[in-house]
Structure 1
Amino acid sequence: MSRPADPAAAFAGAMAAAPPGPIGLAVSGGGDSMALLALAADWAAASGRALAAVTVDHGLRPESAAEAAMVAHRCAALGIAHDVLRWADRPPRGNLAEAAREARRALIAAWAARRGLAAVALAHTLDDQAETVLMRLARGSGVAGLAAMSPVSAAGGVVWLRPLLTVRRAALRALLRARGWSWVEDPSNRDPARDRARARAMLRLLPRLGLTPERLAMTARHMADARLVLDEAARQLAARAVLWGGHGEARLSPAALTGAPRAILGQLLADLLTAIGGRRHPPRLARIEGLIARLDDPPPAATLHGCLIRRAGAALIVCREPARAAPPVPLADGVTWDRRWRILGPAGAGLSVGALGLPAARAAGAGPGAEILATTPAIRSGGRLIAAPLLGPSAWRAEPVIPDARRRRVLTGL
């Protein structure tokens, strides 16, 4: 097996896929992201490309402000614009780590849009890729899951680059030491309660079996190639079997699914549920397998991954589960709500967008479609309903959104 690429050569090669325009860098102050900053600065000096860096301060550790200041100091020395974003709306309960990841991605996406960036580079390494494959193997993931992280992806209106996926973490630390740069170590990386920390510890044992990080990363590349074929087959199946309604729901024809290979059918169902359910990640493969097993004789109604699935004659209707719709958010022109709808129209003090709700949907005479309309966007002022863009003319428009570009191609061909 060939040796992992030299960091500078690997970075320059990967950045050939970057779109034209200024590039953003997500820099936390950790070793990987500081190495990303160093390599990007060299690359920009040679290529003439403009850079901007960002640090998200989640406020979860006392040291986070000082770490952001360290990054700012280094960026200033390099002549690279740097911004610090702070997470202000932490949830009072729930999975804090997952919420932090979601918030970080959303904050960076909004920052990239404000700065007019062509793409944002992330500092995931070959070691991160190997850990991801190992964790997904433990979960019984299929082809899409084992493809792990893509070198280039598009989601949330942003092109995300991972130019260090072929570079070992140790090589990046060596680069920083050679330059005399400091970095910080996140203590959560050693927390045995976290899946990634356990996977990292396990990776130190697996080379005895010949299962090196390089081989696990190679598996991810093979699975990514297989996913391209699977995506195209799922797109063709969607064109035959899925009919989109006007309120974010889809009508699925079980007859059109008959005879489809399980892997293709599973990919289509996973993408459909993820898009309609407003989720970032697909359901576990075991849940999809369970759904496939019931397609020949489905129950009258079931819920899965934030979706309501119910029979309608010979078809299945898949819509957003009313109880899972996102809470209201302040209204702004172009705001995305529930990861499914983009609202266009005037903003104003006290205005919010949230779910229409079952009472209002029933009052509108929606009849058997009340569950569908209940999860569509509604504009309220101080809690009073003033408009439902999908029910009739108003000052606002609601456009359906599938944030993930790959999933959008599979489901709609766009």
Structure 2
Amino acid sequence: MLNAGDLTHLQPSLIFAPHALENTGALIAAVSGGSDSLALLFLLHDYLTGLDNPPRLLAVTVDHRLRPESTAEAENVGRLCQRFGIEHQILSWTDPKPAHGIAAAAREARYRLLLKAAREAHAACILTGHTRNDQIETYLMRKARSQGAASRGLAAMADNVTLEGTVQLLRPFLGITREALRVYLRARDIPWVDDPSNVNIAYERPRIRLNADKEQEERILAEIAAATAARKRDNDRLTAALADPASLWRDAAHQLHVDAAIFASLPESVQSLFAGLVTALAGGRRFMPGEAERSRIAHFLTTANTVARMTQGGALITRAGKNKTHIFRREQRNLPMDELAPHATIIWDGRYRLHNEGTATVTIAPADSCSLAAFLERKGIAADAALRRALCVAPVIYHDGAPCAFPLLEREESPSHIRISNHYALFDHVLSGHDSGLAEAVRLRLEHK
């Protein structure tokens, strides 16, 4: 722990050198005007100033438009940046605000806008000022919602996250207390603003903050470390199992197969992880099912039962039969219909990425069984039951209200201007640094030809 009055630990080189920021073209610093983010900005600025060839630094303030004074506060950050010669940009959340879940919606908007700024600036990294205090609060919130000490979420925040598969989110202050940062700002005579929502107990985090016991911080940090080690242990065990090509594979119908014998040989916690992971991938979901649901799937796959199938999280799961593999595929319901404009890219059902290089808008939607049968007959394509089921949950290109191309059919060429590739919503939206190695092992397995 850093002592509040000890600034020797706040040396910029000690904080930022491990992240190899000098190898990036541009950096985004998320700056709200609060103490944590302002300390991040000025410590980062000091560090970059000492580099021979520093990357471009852009401070970005997201104005959520939730308080009358928020715009003025964002402009004050801009004036402070101008005073120190730091480039600054304000992005506003102008969308209609939801009646419920405003904190989660604001967080989603903040990262979406930061990611937009990063892409426009060709920045490889976004840095935020999350502190040790935030880490403890995150742990306490997740513990209150979790169903046991084995919860993967108790590992709390990773110091690095990959957003949309392209931009790194870095949290270099997770080991530094908020008060240490405030001592630093006072020493430099840099003022900050305290957002009143940070003490509004209508929100979960301020309630946790109010009731947090500072005397228990070291114990909590030890619990976070233990949870992180347990998560890594399970990830490593599953990664080792995935080294076997038979462990997980995708067939021509895009069904996911898990070898029943390999699955049964894994410890219970790893079975639960494996089951939840493949369920999320098959269902196109950004998150794994909850702990209880993951355990229920694993129990279903390893216990003799007259019921051979179950559904969970948009996936239909069939327990291993004669083929010796458990099969996971998308349920045939709640499938989207999307418009794909020229030169645009969409993520369809969390499972496919489609890009339109043409000049006309096309419709992407699933086909019903009658349309599929007519299409196959017209094209003279033979398809077994498994392939027909898969095609009914796959993206289809429509023209004039009728299906004109099934990109997943090997014998049917898609229009040359439509590009399709696999998308893994579980990993390709937000990938915690805790799970990056496991995600790579899964991707390697499923993309293996």
Kindly indicate whether the alpha-carbon contact (under 8 Å) linking 1:231 and 1:410 is maintained by their aligned counterparts in 2.
Answer: no
- Structure 1 regions of 5+ residues with no counterpart? none
Q: Specify which of 213, 217, 223 is matched with residue 221 of structure 2.
A: 217
- Structure of greater Rg: 2
Q: Compared with structure 1, are the counterparts of its residues 287 and 68 closer, same or farther at alpha carbon in structure 2 (3 Å cutoff)?
A: same
Q: In structure 2, the residue corresponding to 1:124 is in which secondary structure?
A: coil
Q: 1:313 to 1:44 in 2, by over 3 A?
A: same
Is 1:198 paired with 2:207?
Answer: yes
Scaled by the length of structure 1, what TM-score is found?
Answer: 0.84
Q: Does 1:165 align with 2:174?
A: yes
Task: Look up the match of 1:230.
Answer: 234
C-alpha distance after superposition, 1:197-219 (max 9, x if no partner): 2221221x362xxx21x442343
1:261 Cα deviation from its structure 2 partner: 0.2
Secondary structure of the equivalent of 1:103? helix
Q: CA offsets, 1:242-294, max 9 Å, x none?
A: 21235654122333211310122222223323334444333321221122222
Residue pairs, 1:307-386, within 5 angstroms: 307-311=315-319, 313-314=321-322, 315-325=325-335, 328=338, 330-331=340-341, 332-346=343-357, 348=359, 350-351=361-362, 354-358=364-368, 364=375, 367-369=385-387, 372-379=390-397
Contact 2:249 2:258 survives alignment (8 Å): yes
- Structure 2 equivalent of residue 140 of structure 1: 147
Equivalent residue letter for 2:290: R
Change (3 A) 1:55 1:330: farther
1:152 counterpart = 2:160: yes
2:57 and 2:159 map into 1 onto residues whose CA distance is 19
From 87, 90, 95, the counterpart of 1:81: 87
Residues 79 and 198 (structure 1 numbering): CA distance in 2 closer, same or farther, change over 3 Å? same
Report the counterpart of residue 15 of structure 2 in structure 1: 13
User: How many angstroms apart in 1 are the aligned matches of 2:94 and 2:282?
Assistant: 28
* In structure 1, C-alpha distance between the alignment counterparts of 2:398 and 2:77, rounded to whole Å: 41
Report if aligned partners of 1:143, 1:226 keep a CA contact under 8 Å in 2.
Answer: no
Out of 367-376 and 278-287, give the one that drifted further. Answer: 367-376
Asked if 1:32 corresponds to 2:36, the answer is: yes
Compute the displacement of 1:168 (Å). 0.8
CA contact (8 A) 1:271 1:407 kept: no
1:42 aligned counterpart, secondary structure: helix
Tell whether the 8 Å contact from 2:154 to 2:227 is kept in structure 1 after alignment: yes
Task: Provide the rounded CA distance (Å) in 2 between the counterparts of 1:384 and 1:146.
Answer: 49
Point out the more displaced range, 101-110 or 128-137. 101-110
Name the CA shift for 1:339/1:84 in 2 (closer, same or farther; >3 Å).
farther
Q: 1:292 to 1:165 in 2, by over 3 A?
A: same
Tell me if structure 2 keeps the 8 A contact 1:336–1:343: yes
User: What is aligned with 1:397?
Assistant: 419
Partner of 2:189: 180
1:326–1:337 contact (8 Å) kept in structure 2: yes
Question: Which whole-Å CA distance do the structure 2 matches of 1:10 and 1:281 have between them?
Answer: 35
- Are the equivalent residues in 2 in contact too, given 1:124–1:162 (CA < 8 A)? yes
SS of the residue 1:73 aligns to = helix
Is 2:292 the partner of 1:270?
no
The farther-off stretch of 357-366 and 251-260 is: 357-366
Contact 2:250 2:257 in 1 (8 A): yes
Aligned amino acid, residue 171 of structure 2: R
**What code does the residue aligned with 2:60 have?**
V
Give the drift of 1:113. 2.4
- 2:443 partner letter: T
CA distance in 2, matches of 1:323, 1:145: 30
Q: Could you tell me whether the CA contact under 8 Å between 2:236 and 2:438 is conserved in 1?
A: no
For 1:243 and 1:34, locate their aligned partners in 2 and report how far apart those are by CA, in whole Å. Answer: 47
Question: 3-state SS of the aligned residue for 2:50?
Answer: helix
**Cα gap change, 1:15 to 1:326, in 2 (>3 Å):** farther
Tell me, in whole angstroms, the C-alpha distance in 1 between the residues paired with 2:203 and 2:340: 34
Secondary structure in 2 matching 1:219: helix
2:380 aligns with none
Alignment of 1:125-136 (within 5 A): 125-136=131-142
Deviation of 1:121 after TM superposition, in Å, equals: 0.8
Task: Tell me if structure 1 keeps the 8 A contact 2:340–2:362.
Answer: yes
2:265 and 2:334 mapped to 1: Cα distance? 32
CA distance in 2, matches of 1:93, 1:186: 20
Q: Which amino acid aligns with 1:76?
A: Q
Asked if the contact 1:309–1:317 (Cα under 8 Å) also holds between the matched residues in 2, the reply is: yes
Say whether the 8 Å CA contact 2:128–2:171 is kept in structure 1: yes
TM-aligned CA distance change 1:46 to 1:308, over 3 Å? same
- Write the deviation string for residues 139-179 of structure 1: whole angstroms up to 9, x where unpaired: 13635322211112323111111101011112223333333
